[in-house]
Amino acid sequence: MSLEDYTRAGQIASIVRENTRKKNHVGRTLFEICNSIESEIESLGGHPAFPVNISLNEIAAHYTAEPNDQIVIKEDDVVKIDLGVHINGFIADTAVTISYDSRYDQLIKTAELSLSEATKIAKHNTKSSDLGKVIENTITNNGFKPIQNLSGHSLEQYIIHAGKSIPNIKTYGSSFSLSSNHAYAIEPFVTTKQGLGVVYEGKIKNIFSLISRKPAKNKDADEFISFLWNKFRTLPFALRWLVNEFEEPKARELLDYLLKKKNIRAYPILVEGNNQVVSQAEHTVFIAETSSHIITK
């Protein structure tokens, strides 16, 4: 477990997040924003741990720009930008919500406040259920709803979702405790009182990850599997990351083939159940024996 790599990844992620927060994105395309953030990560010596997620309004998560995506940010959009940086596979995961419409200020502040309250108590042996309770109480006390079926997660080398979930609501029954020498992403998602507080999978899927290197018994597909493994290991990737190496129709065909063969998985966009606006905030915390480090602060 490399605290040095986590710390460096966290420093880069926080610089890029804060630069992103300060920019005026109105009129910019999603393609331009994703590319510029990922290029900045590389320029600072990191690698994107997953494609930048840029999810607008009622889309809570898992949208990234399509190749040459021409969707443009508008004045009244609520823009969630979720970015990850890895150094040698050790991942810092962080997110910010941006809007230029004052109607959404409180929604955005509540996500940040619930994250702040949760990170204050995130230490060795803190129960995940206690984190969920603090997040839900902060959100509801401010007049909003948490998204109950989205959660934070444990991180491992080259694994973005490493099996443990940190809830954004009070949970009952068994609950795991945070362990020293492990990293966890804490990420509250907040919606309005009119929201369902649940997300559903949408039709769009443009983020993928390799889950099996089992031969697909097709020469092109097997070469594609090798390419994906050498380039991304088990980390998520985007279709737009492939089009420099493959013609776009060929890349889509290979992705479809490997989805059917279950060599890769797709991450559908996640949409608020009543199509209400969602905000998000996220930090990665590294837990030591006697202290904890918010590596993306």
Q: Which one of 5, 82, 136, 272 is the catalytic residue?
A: 82
Q: What is the DSSP letter of 239?
A: G
Catalytic (active site) residue 283: no
In single-letter form, the type of residue at position 219 comes to K
Q: Are 283 and 294 in contact (CB under 8 A)?
A: yes
How far is it, in rounded angstroms, from Cα 92 to Cα 280?
Answer: 16
The tokens describing 254, both together, are 């290979």
Q: Is 93 a catalytic residue?
A: yes
CB-neighbour burial class of residue 214 (10 A; exposed 0-12, middle 13-18, buried 19+): exposed
Tokens 């004045």 belong to residue: 75
Whether 187 is catalytic = yes
- Active-site position among 38, 58, 136, 187: 187
Distance CA 66, CA 89 (A): 25
* Residue 82 known to be catalytic: yes
Can you name the residues that pair with 181 across neighbouring β-strands? none
Overall size of the chain counted in residues: 297
Alpha helices (H) along 122-266: 128-141, 219-232, 248-260
Q: Tell whether the torsion through CA atoms of 95, 178, 45 and 158 is positive or negative.
A: negative
Q: Is 161 a catalytic residue?
A: yes
CA angle 273, 275, 277 (to 5 degrees): 115
Which of 25, 58, 282, 283 is the catalytic position? 282
Q: How far is CA 85 from the centre of its chain?
A: 11
Catalytic residue among 32, 117, 156, 161: 161
**Candidate list 38, 77, 93, 136, residue with the active-site label:** 93
Active site residue 117: no
Positions annotated as catalytic residues are 82, 93, 153, 161, 187, 282
